Amino acid sequence: MKRWSYIFMFSMLLFMAGCVKKDVQGKREEVSYAVCRQSVIPKELKELIDQEKKEVFHFTYSTRDYTYYVIGYGEQPGKGYQIKVKEFTMDEDHVYIDTSLIGVTKEQQKNGKSCPYLVLKSQYYEKDTVFR
């Protein structure tokens, strides 16, 4: 009888060990940032953006003190697009950025073309960036 009790307890321990849930992502905290105007974007960064802006892109550009997070949505019909920052957080290893493009009306789409992009400036973090 004792033998079956030990087998039962051992089985339950194995079962319960398999049910432990871990928080893989860890705790995220908000990142403080500023949206950059054209006039404060470094010249070298402007040149990189001009090379990429017709296609969808995202990249980071770092100086000694700051990191610039650049998100572009490629060439779009019309003008007046906006880009919304839905998430800008970080954990121990990564910076996470999630943005969305806010469209324009059908009437506004008839007014030429544009290449909407966003430049976010934050302090320098030595972490990989995940763009969504």
pLDDT score of 46? 97
Integer CA distances (angstroms), 1 to 42, 71, 84, in order: 78, 67, 66
User: Among residues 97, 115, 99, 101, which one has the least CA distance to residue 50?
Assistant: 115
Low-confidence ranges of the chain (pLDDT < 70): 1-26
Write down the pTM of the prediction: 0.78
SS3 of 59, please? strand
Q: What are residue 104's phi and psi, to 5 degrees?
A: -120, 170
pLDDT score of 111? 87
SS3 of 9, please? helix
